[in-house]
Structure 1
Amino acid sequence: MLHRRSQSSNGYTSESNFLTKLPVTVIAADGGTPALSSTVDVTVNIITGCSKLQDRYGSWPVSEINNSVTVPCEDSYGGNYTRVCDENGSWGPVTSYCKVKDTVLTNLQLQLNSVSNASGNASGEIENILESLSKITDNQIDSGIITNVTDILKGVLNIADYMNITDNSTEYFYETISNVLKPENEEAFKQADVDGSVVLDVVDKYMLLQQETKCNNLNTGDVNEIENNHIYTEIGRISGEVLFPNIKRSETNIDIMENTLTNLGITNVCFGGAYYNSLGNVMENQVTLEGQGSALPTGEVNSDIISLQLLTDPGVSLDNLDPPVRITFTLINGTYTDPICVFWDYNITTGQSKRGAWSSKGCVLEEITNVTAKCACSHLTNFAILMSPSKISAHHSLILGIISAVGCTISMICLVLTIIAHRIVWSVVRSNRTITLMHLCVALLLAFGVFLAGVNRTESRVACIIIAALIQFLFLAVFFLMLFIGVEILLSVVQVFGSRFRLSRLLPLAWLAPLVIVGVSLGVTKTEGYGNKKFCWLDIDSGLIWSFIGPAAAVILVNVIIIVIVFKKMASATFVKSKTSTTKLKTWLHSLCVLLPMLGITWLFGLLSVNSDMFILQYFFSIFNSLQGLFIFLFHCVFNRQIRQALTHRKERRRTLASFESEIRNTTKDEHSKSAPDPVKKTGPSTRFEDVD
């Protein structure tokens, strides 16, 4: 007997139940004649594959286990849907999707233009367009589709402003918005010509249109909700306190107290609210702080975005609400710091000529925990809370930035002076170590220069990639040159290869190795991770930063070992043993001051502060490393005896030469005076006077 079950509880499994009779014999304990013999029914379940399934992707036929099945797309789409029947007899996730053809969006735009030019009510055509958009965005989309869809939605709003909108149109509209805001579309959204603020603007205008057409038909207490995966909206009429969301319970909400409305002369009001749970990922992280005129990059959106608008008489102002509106946010990441209550201000134009930025004007933070934050704002609009993903607050970040900028500038000046000083006395001080030191000074000078000039140049994606790669190359070259200096110092101390070995011949490797690392990184990542919206540097989340940290940490480790060996050799040297304790201490300190800037040991502060809550390490790192050029100038020029003696000798020699040249000129003048004939005496009137006498 065979029983077949087409679906399991998940709707996908196909099983076969086989009912059969098996003989059962019970053997006697002594192994003799069977004591009992009978038969029992046994049911065996065998999974034969996946059953037929009809869903929004199409009709999936019956399939065997581990079989990949493809469903063709509709005529207006390219590609196909693919999924696998897994070993449990369940349909797996869809792994390939259909993509709308460009002609479909073009035809929708033409249809929209036709509707806008036609006379009469075209609500049906609007509904058809929005339905098509909801289907298109339900598939895999790219940046071009996002741009075209948002353009069509803006066009729909221009038409719908003087037409009746249907309930179906509203459903399709919010389905489209929700589909566009899918987390898997985040990367495509960032590459599109529009950002998340366009979605805010479109939804705000559509909701206002809803209020104008629906509110008159709502009784007090009526609230209509539309819930999608990534946007939730309500429109309702309330008497007294307004709380959004009103139907759906949520820790993130906006609360307008009854007193606030009473002070405005409002006792019954129609509200519209929207709640976005993924929009923050595609919003610009720009914020204009209270009292400042420019937009500055500050933190990340660390909450869902929520908005509320009231339909009031034209004479009612909602700009200075008293008591203020209370907004409660559920924090996405409880470890973030430096919270700022913000709203999206469309009146701000940023440096990228984009309309709108986050503003803190009229909003204050009242309370914050690791879970929630409470803000008070004197107006209504789209709200969120921005926080810094770094454990260093914005205040400390600003100070660290100033320290780095000032330190790098000082270092660049000192590096130029170091190069000039060595160039003047190059014939005297030239050696393997000074040759490598000059390479290090040039590399540091270029690295600091590019860092100061380009690390914040995020306006151009291509330029930012080039700057990030160049900074990576130059600082890696700095590390490899510091490694060469460390090896040269080690060789000079232990004399492994003798004095004839010229390490300077291998210096091209210090420039070639970083070039290879950067080239491989660019090739493997295809430039992804080089630069972001804040800085032109390597991405941390993707792990690309390790293409710099890895080699740098290896160089630091080797140089630390070299310093230990060098100090051990120094401690055992006879000339050190004979010195007093005070003299020894001075010798150690002087040696450390000379070696640390050249070998990059101060970069340990940077490595230790990556995951440290002790922000003091960040200060040490910024001070010591931005002033590396200053330390090199001090300990390899100002306090370097050889340089000082060479400069003094050059000065004395020039003085001697000047004196010698002066003596030669005087001697030549005297000799010239002696060898010249005596001038002829005049025998004029005086002679004649004598004759007269």
Structure 2
Amino acid sequence: MLLKNLERMPRRAGSTNFSYLIHDLERSLLGINFSGFNLTLETPTIQTLVFKLGCNFAGLSLNSDALEHVPKTWGRHAMQFPTELTQKACRTRPKELRLVCIYFFTNRFFQNDNNSSLLNNYVLGAQLGHGHVINLKEPINISFWHNQSLESHTMTCVYWKEGASKRYWGVWSPEGCRTEHPSPSQVLCRCNHLSYFAVLMQLSTAPLPVELLAPLTYISLVGCSVSIVASLLTLLLHFHTRKQSDSITCIHMNLHASVLLLNVTFLLSPVLAKPPVPGSVCVALAAVLHYALLSCLTWMAIEGFNLYLLLGRVYNIYIRRYVLKLCTVGWGVPAFLVLFLLAIKSSVYGPRAIPLSDSHGNGTGFRNMSICWVQSPGVHGVLVMGYGGLTALFNLVVLAWAMWVLRRLKARGKAPGPRACRDTLTVLGLTVLLGTTWALAFFSFGVFLLPQLFLFTIFNSLYGFFLFLWFCSQRCRSEAQVEAKMETFSSSQTMQ
């Protein structure tokens, strides 16, 4: 009767109604009387299985191929439960336990804010007694098969997290689950708890060849580590020589601080995206990483704005509390955006799967690696690609304008003489300072994909080091100018 009531619920039924009926179904199945080891009840879109387990539980494997009433037109699925499943329950309640498995072959009962696409529209759930099974050392393996290759999609194993949404009775969350791809048409979810499980599908670009993962990871590790050391050294040198601190130097140091935070969180991101790290830690790190990236992009735009004022007003800038206002924008605007996202939809952050493909056909097929990052494609498109694109475009325009102004000043005799090497270094320095190499991110398609990946990784992982070189060159230049003025002053005094 409860199964039929669930099926008859209208699609627009309230979220609390679905929650009530599903929990009522779970309670009824846990209390139902039957003889034998297991009981099966089903409707066209819902199937339930109840098992009697003892404390000598040796594990259980369920496969749709072995189930009698599953139509062969449906996609295959399987669940494997480890021996550890009943250990905690047997210590507190040493009696017969019941394992309830509920399979939904429709996603209408699990709608959320993202209206996510589920693989096969399957939701596979399991519950042991009336308690909660969490933090298992041996994972529960849930397998989903599709009749076509999944290489064009990003697949993420998720579970239904109740109470995490104000509008619906839950949200899909990847916490405690790891996604694997034993074959191009199979998704294997390894989760450390019992709940309702599914696989989120997102259209993705062509997966990254797995053989490029090692060199790109090595380049990122070395480049970010070098940049972290360079940024720390730059900040230490700045605090050691506070007497030279002006508005330009303060802007540079804030940019260094944002780059330092970005590199540190980026290196930690793939490490903390793996179990047994709690999902909340990954969510927090993803939010900090997003904040660091937005701050870095904002300070790059501020560098461009400051360069415009320097050249446009011919080095005559006075704005009341100029640095304080810039700091409010550079650190405050990204913080507002990230906190706003967390307030309206906390599930926007978490483990993000990066698709990898094996082009050698050695059996590993298509699989993912995960990092702590933005999960929502919409947020990623607007607040990462859109924000970064506007910053890169603005700074490219400022760079072109700055080159034109410097050339005009040089023609009027107000700039140093014709020194090709010095002019080249100035252009390179401004290019680094404004972070225009981030524009390479928009060439990740077609024949540009692989060169772009390596160039983008090299230039932007070493961005902090290039800024350090710029800082050193500017400091040496200012010291040389001071020494030249001192020599000129001494010579004039001697002549007098």
Q: TM-score range by the shorter chain?
A: 0.5 to 0.7
Over 3 Å counting, the alpha-carbon distance change for 1:57 and 1:433 in structure 2 is same
> Within 5 Å, which residues of 2 pair with 1:27-42?
none
Report if the CA contact (8 A) 1:531-1:539 is conserved.
yes
Matched residue SS, 2:380? coil
> Within 5 Å, which residues of 2 pair with 1:91-130?
100=21, 102-111=23-32, 122-123=35-36, 129-130=39-40
Aligned to 2:303: 485
Over 3 Å counting, the alpha-carbon distance change for 1:303 and 1:153 in structure 2 is farther
- Tell me the CA shift for residue 513 of structure 1: 0.6
Give the root-mean-square deviation of aligned CA atoms: 4.9
Report if the CA contact (8 A) 1:408-1:448 is conserved.
yes
Aligned to 1:394: 210
Matched residue SS, 1:536? strand
Take 2:335 and 2:103, find their aligned partners in 1: how far apart are those partners?
Answer: 43
Take 1:647 and 1:403, find their aligned partners in 2: how far apart are those partners?
Answer: 39
Aligned to 2:246: 431
Query: C-alpha deviations, 1:240-267, integer Å up to 9, x for none?
Result: xxxxxxxxxx999xxxxxxxxxxxxxxx
Instruction: Tell me the matched-pair count.
Output: 378
Aligned counterpart for 2:434 among listed residues 571, 581, 599: 599
Aligned to 1:561: 397
> Within 5 Å, which residues of 2 pair with 1:295-444?
302-304=184-186, 390-427=206-243, 429-444=244-259
Aligned to 2:115: none
Matched residue SS, 1:561? helix
Over 3 Å counting, the alpha-carbon distance change for 1:540 and 1:406 in structure 2 is farther
Q: Say yes or no: does 1:628 pair with 2:446.
A: no
Over 3 Å counting, the alpha-carbon distance change for 1:530 and 1:546 in structure 2 is farther
Identity value in percent: 16
- Tell me the CA shift for residue 188 of structure 1: 5.9
Report if the CA contact (8 A) 1:190-1:282 is conserved.
no
Aligned to 2:172: none
Structure 1: which 5+ runs fail to align?
1-55, 59-72, 85-95, 116-121, 140-148, 162-167, 201-229, 233-249, 253-279, 285-295, 306-343, 355-387, 650-693
Aligned counterpart for 1:476 among listed residues 262, 273, 294: 294
Report if the CA contact (8 A) 1:477-1:511 is conserved.
yes
Take 1:573 and 1:555, find their aligned partners in 2: how far apart are those partners?
Answer: 26
Q: Which amino acid aligns with 1:569?
A: V
- Tell me the CA shift for residue 596 of structure 1: 1.9
- Tell me the CA shift for residue 510 of structure 1: 1.0
Aligned counterpart for 1:513 among listed residues 313, 330, 333: 333
Q: Which amino acid aligns with 1:527?
A: S
Matched residue SS, 2:272? coil
- Tell me the CA shift for residue 554 of structure 1: 1.2
Over 3 Å counting, the alpha-carbon distance change for 1:513 and 1:532 in structure 2 is same
Q: Which has the higher helix share?
A: 2
Q: Say yes or no: does 1:525 pair with 2:345.
A: yes
Aligned counterpart for 1:445 among listed residues 260, 283, 286: 260
Take 2:414 and 2:261, find their aligned partners in 1: how far apart are those partners?
Answer: 44
Report if the CA contact (8 A) 1:404-1:623 is conserved.
yes
Aligned to 2:168: none
Over 3 Å counting, the alpha-carbon distance change for 1:283 and 1:574 in structure 2 is closer
Matched residue SS, 1:516? helix
Q: Which amino acid aligns with 2:324?
A: R
Q: Say yes or no: does 1:616 pair with 2:451.
A: yes
Aligned counterpart for 2:422 among listed residues 571, 582, 587: 587
Aligned counterpart for 1:457 among listed residues 272, 283, 293: 272
Q: Which amino acid aligns with 1:512?
A: G
Take 2:314 and 2:219, find their aligned partners in 1: how far apart are those partners?
Answer: 42
Aligned counterpart for 2:68 among listed residues 166, 170, 173: 170
- Tell me the CA shift for residue 425 of structure 1: 2.6
- Tell me the CA shift for residue 471 of structure 1: 0.7
Q: Say yes or no: does 1:501 pair with 2:319.
A: yes
Matched residue SS, 1:537? strand
Report if the CA contact (8 A) 1:598-1:632 is conserved.
yes
TM-score, length basis structure 2? 0.62
Over 3 Å counting, the alpha-carbon distance change for 1:462 and 1:563 in structure 2 is same
Take 1:493 and 1:579, find their aligned partners in 2: how far apart are those partners?
Answer: 12
Take 2:126 and 2:205, find their aligned partners in 1: how far apart are those partners?
Answer: 23
Q: Which amino acid aligns with 1:558?
A: F
Matched residue SS, 2:208? coil
Query: C-alpha deviations, 1:351-388, integer Å up to 9, x for none?
Result: x779xxxxxxxxxxxxxxxxxxxxxxxxxxxxxxxxx9
Take 1:623 and 1:574, find their aligned partners in 2: how far apart are those partners?
Answer: 33
- Tell me the CA shift for residue 623 of structure 1: 0.6
Over 3 Å counting, the alpha-carbon distance change for 1:189 and 1:492 in structure 2 is farther
Greater gyration radius: 1
Take 1:190 and 1:442, find their aligned partners in 2: how far apart are those partners?
Answer: 46
Over 3 Å counting, the alpha-carbon distance change for 1:449 and 1:472 in structure 2 is same
Take 1:136 and 1:647, find their aligned partners in 2: how far apart are those partners?
Answer: 85
> Within 5 Å, which residues of 2 pair with 1:214-293?
282=157
Report if the CA contact (8 A) 2:432-2:463 is conserved.
yes
Query: C-alpha deviations, 1:135-187, integer Å up to 9, x for none?
Result: 59729xxxxxxxxx67x34749x99x9xxxxxx98327999989445466659
Take 1:283 and 1:486, find their aligned partners in 2: how far apart are those partners?
Answer: 42
Report if the CA contact (8 A) 1:602-1:621 is conserved.
yes
Report if the CA contact (8 A) 1:299-1:389 is conserved.
no
Take 2:126 and 2:278, find their aligned partners in 1: how far apart are those partners?
Answer: 13
Aligned to 2:9: 81
Matched residue SS, 1:501? coil
Take 1:574 and 1:177, find their aligned partners in 2: how far apart are those partners?
Answer: 78
Take 1:622 and 1:183, find their aligned partners in 2: how far apart are those partners?
Answer: 39
Q: Which amino acid aligns with 1:609?
A: S
Take 1:83 and 1:482, find their aligned partners in 2: how far apart are those partners?
Answer: 48
Take 1:598 and 1:419, find their aligned partners in 2: how far apart are those partners?
Answer: 16
Over 3 Å counting, the alpha-carbon distance change for 1:441 and 1:282 in structure 2 is closer
Take 1:445 and 1:190, find their aligned partners in 2: how far apart are those partners?
Answer: 43
Query: C-alpha deviations, 1:477-517, integer Å up to 9, x for none?
Result: 11111111111111111108943235313122211110111
Take 2:427 and 2:383, find their aligned partners in 1: how far apart are those partners?
Answer: 29
Aligned to 2:408: 572
Take 1:406 and 1:491, find their aligned partners in 2: how far apart are those partners?
Answer: 36
Over 3 Å counting, the alpha-carbon distance change for 1:300 and 1:509 in structure 2 is farther
Take 2:396 and 2:250, find their aligned partners in 1: how far apart are those partners?
Answer: 22
- Tell me the CA shift for residue 560 of structure 1: 1.0
Q: Which amino acid aligns with 1:480?
A: T
Take 1:191 and 1:647, find their aligned partners in 2: how far apart are those partners?
Answer: 75
Over 3 Å counting, the alpha-carbon distance change for 1:645 and 1:551 in structure 2 is same
Take 1:190 and 1:105, find their aligned partners in 2: how far apart are those partners?
Answer: 10
- Tell me the CA shift for residue 558 of structure 1: 1.1
Q: Which amino acid aligns with 1:465?
A: V
